[in-house]
């Protein structure tokens, strides 16, 4: 631990030196335009202190908005999925991606890794271990002294003309002028559970891939996995590595996807241009990517096969009809036959549906959705995409009735933004661009909202009398 602190200190020193050259962070300025005594209200509250929550906070702080509060329901050092339910050993992304860089060399993952582990270790690194990525994010939070309140759940929030009221699970309330929701892929509707799976299986006989799973208890047991995406394979491999007697995976497709099309949609045109497209163009892109999901990484497939051997079976073109408990086991009824397992892992991803997200309980009926603003051609109709929120330029929620309203004080920086922004708020390659866009739009909102105060500050500013050392000084001019 002491070695880690020392090497982090070196990375932090280099970061602060570079920031000094760039004159960053900017001096705090929002209070210059607000009434005295209002500093007890946070300028921006952020729900989630994982990758995107930290990115949002750092980008805002660099632009001089430092009256922040971050809330995360995880213990310190474990925000996000990397050391919890992300059960792959390494990130999918190439190590060369800059990470949460925001255009600053010393903030890149590589700069931090070389400071901590050395340049030779960087050259030998294949992909980034999950725990190492978590260490990197933790370092950024510490380097910027972010005010993260861990083990703190926000149950819901309300919005009014003056700001946002966050209601904590312990009953306390927090007031902020604006809110950023950066609570990950599950934060806008929760796990997607197919209707044919009996909900009463959970948690005794079933778990979603984002749930805690006691894999040691699965040793010697039969495990069924529904879904064949990356997380399904990760969980299958983990179960096999913990001694599961048999893991059977059920995929509805006749073959696994072969090409990760998402990797072709991360260059600046997609990242910066998606939101400026016409709605029918955004819908066309989202529909195409929805129809062409990424394959599991080859490393993940090979890991599963190596761990399982004959203990692993993949059933393609599976037509599951009913999954429920029978005699203390999981009974899987397929069109052709019936299977049984001791435990079920559901790897069917997440849904976007604010009506089913407790956090949005007080505002969901007011939020404009894509189905409220856009009617796709029948050929391209996809009801689940219509449930995505219709967002403004800075990820702001919009009022369903299209009238101006306070919902634009809430910025949605999670997977639910993907129809409006593509991968900008979902994946590592675009994290800096997402944080920059968010922070720039919030700066504009804050400045405009307190325009009168900033105008008064400008008019009353007399900190420098340029001509004071000359005979032409006129203080009454």
DSSP secondary structure letters along 18-34:
HHHHHT-SPPP-GGGGS
Mapped onto helix, strand or coil, the DSSP state of residue 62 is helix
Would residue 388 be called left, alpha or beta, if left means φ above 0 and alpha means ψ between -120 and 50 degrees?
beta
Total count of residues recorded for the chain:
477
The CA-based dihedral angle spanning residues 186, 189, 190, 196, taken in that order and rounded to the nearest 10 degrees: -140
Q: Under 8 Å CB-to-CB from 450, ≥6 apart: which residues? A: 30, 33, 34
Q: Tens digit of pLDDT for each residue in 233-261?
A: 999 999 999 999 999 999 999 999 999 99
How many whole angstroms separate alpha carbon 214 and alpha carbon 204?
11
Mapped onto helix, strand or coil, the DSSP state of residue 279 is helix
The half-sphere exposure of 236 on its side-chain side, counting CA atoms within 13 A, is 32
> 57, 59, 52: which is closest to 42 by C-alpha?
57
Domains of the chain in sequence order: 2-188+352-454 (3.50.50.60), 199-258+295-346 (3.50.50.60)
Do 64 and 26 form a contact (C-beta atoms < 8 A)?
Answer: yes
Alpha helices in 68-176 (DSSP H): 109-117, 119-124, 130-143
Higher pLDDT, 35 or 152: 152
How many whole angstroms separate alpha carbon 370 and alpha carbon 353?
11
Q: Tens digit of pLDDT for each residue in 410-429?
A: 999 999 999 999 988 888 99
Higher pLDDT, 399 or 266: 399
The half-sphere exposure of 137 on its side-chain side, counting CA atoms within 13 A, is 28
pLDDT value, residue 38: 60
How many whole angstroms separate alpha carbon 109 and alpha carbon 377?
43
Task: Compute φ and ψ for 353, nearest 5 degrees.
Answer: -165, 95
How many whole angstroms separate alpha carbon 83 and alpha carbon 215?
15
Q: Any idea which of 40-44, 84-88, 378-382 has the lowest mean pLDDT?
A: 378-382
How many whole angstroms separate alpha carbon 323 and alpha carbon 330?
7
338-341 sheet: strands from edge to edge: 320-326, 329-334, 338-341
Examine the pLDDT at 307 and tell me if it is beyond 80: yes
Cβ-count burial of 404 within 10 angstroms (0-12 exposed, 13-18 middle, 19+ buried)? exposed
Calculate mean pLDDT across residues 123-139.
97
Task: Compute φ and ψ for 175, nearest 5 degrees.
Answer: -110, 135
Q: Tens digit of pLDDT for each residue in 456-467?
A: 999 999 999 999
Beta bridge partners of 156: 167
Examine the pLDDT at 2 and tell me if it is beyond 60: no
Q: Tens digit of pLDDT for each residue in 69-105?
A: 999 999 998 999 999 999 999 999 999 999 999 999 9
Average pLDDT, the chain: 94
Query: Taking the CB of residue 401, how many other CB atoms lie within 10 A of it?
Result: 10
Percent of the chain residues topping a pLDDT of 90: 89
pLDDT value, residue 262: 87
Do 449 and 41 form a contact (C-beta atoms < 8 A)?
Answer: no
Beta bridge partners of 206: 344
- The sign of the torsion formed by the CA atoms of 353, 356, 361, 364 equals positive
Which pTM was predicted? 0.95
Q: Any idea which of 50-59, 160-169, 369-378 has the lowest mean pLDDT?
A: 369-378
Do 300 and 453 form a contact (C-beta atoms < 8 A)?
Answer: no
Beta bridge partners of 367: 399
Q: Under 8 Å CB-to-CB from 411, ≥6 apart: which residues? A: 178, 179, 180, 181, 394, 395, 396, 397, 438, 441, 442
How many whole angstroms separate alpha carbon 240 and alpha carbon 232?
12
1 confidence band (pLDDT: 50, 70, 90): very low
4 confidence band (pLDDT: 50, 70, 90): low
For residue 214, the Cα-to-chain-centroid distance in whole angstroms is 25
């Amino acid at each position: 631990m002491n070695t880690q602190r020392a090497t982090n200190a070196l990375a932090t020193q280099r970061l602060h030196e570079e920031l000094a050259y760039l004159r960053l962070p900017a001096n705090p300025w929002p209070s210059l335009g607000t009434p005295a005594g209002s500093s007890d209200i946070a300028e921006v509250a952020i729900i989630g202190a994982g990758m995107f929550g930290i990115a949002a906070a750092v980008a805002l702080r660099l632009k001089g908005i430092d009256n922040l509060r971050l809330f995360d329901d995880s213990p310190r050092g474990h925000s996000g999925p990397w050391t919890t339910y992300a059960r792959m050993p390494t990130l999918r992304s190439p190590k060369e991606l800059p990470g949460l860089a925001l255009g600053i060399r010393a903030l890149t993952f590589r700069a931090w890794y070389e400071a901590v582990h050395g340049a030779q270790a960087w050259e030998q690194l294949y992909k980034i271990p999950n725990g190492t990525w978590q260490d990197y994010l933790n370092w950024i939070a510490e380097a910027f002294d972010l005010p993260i309140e861990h083990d703190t759940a926000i149950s819901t929030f309300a919005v009014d003309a003056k700001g946002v009221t966050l209601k904590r699970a312990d009953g306390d309330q927090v007031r902020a002028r604006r809110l950023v929701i950066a609570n990950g892929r599950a934060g806008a509707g929760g796990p997607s559970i197919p209707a044919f799976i009996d909900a009463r299986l959970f948690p005794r006989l079933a778990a979603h891939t984002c749930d805690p799973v006691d894999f040691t208890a699965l040793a010697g047991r039969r495990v069924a996995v529904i879904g064949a995406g990356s997380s399904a394979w990760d969980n299958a491999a983990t179960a096999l590595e913990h001694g599961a007697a048999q893991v059977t995976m059920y995929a509805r497709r006749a073959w696994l996807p072969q090409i990760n099309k998402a990797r072709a949609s991360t260059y600046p045109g997609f990242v910066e241009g998606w939101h400026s497209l016409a709605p029918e163009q955004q819908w066309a892109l989202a529909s195409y990517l929805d129809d062409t999901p990424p394959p599991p990484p080859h490393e993940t497939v090979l890991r599963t096969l190596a761990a399982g051997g004959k203990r692993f079976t993949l059933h393609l073109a599976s037509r599951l009809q009913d999954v429920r408990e029978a005699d203390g086991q999981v009974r899987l009824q397929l069109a052709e036959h019936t299977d049984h397992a001791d435990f079920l892992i559901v790897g069917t991803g997440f849904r976007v549906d604010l009506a089913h997200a407790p956090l949005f309980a007080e505002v969901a009926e007011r939020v404009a959705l894509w189905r409220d603003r856009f009617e796709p051609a029948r050929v391209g109709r996809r009801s689940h995409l219509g449930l995505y929120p219709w967002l403004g330029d800075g990820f702001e929620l919009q009022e369903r009735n299209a009238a101006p309203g306070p919902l634009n004080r809430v910025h949605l920086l999670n997977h639910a933004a993907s129809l409006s922004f593509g991968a900008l708020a979902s994946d590592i390659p675009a994290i800096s661009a997402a944080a920059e866009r968010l922070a720039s739009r919030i700066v504009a909102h804050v400045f405009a909202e307190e325009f009168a105060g900033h105008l008064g500050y400008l008019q009353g500013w007399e900190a420098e009398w340029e001509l004071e050392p000359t005979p032409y000084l006129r203080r009454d001019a």
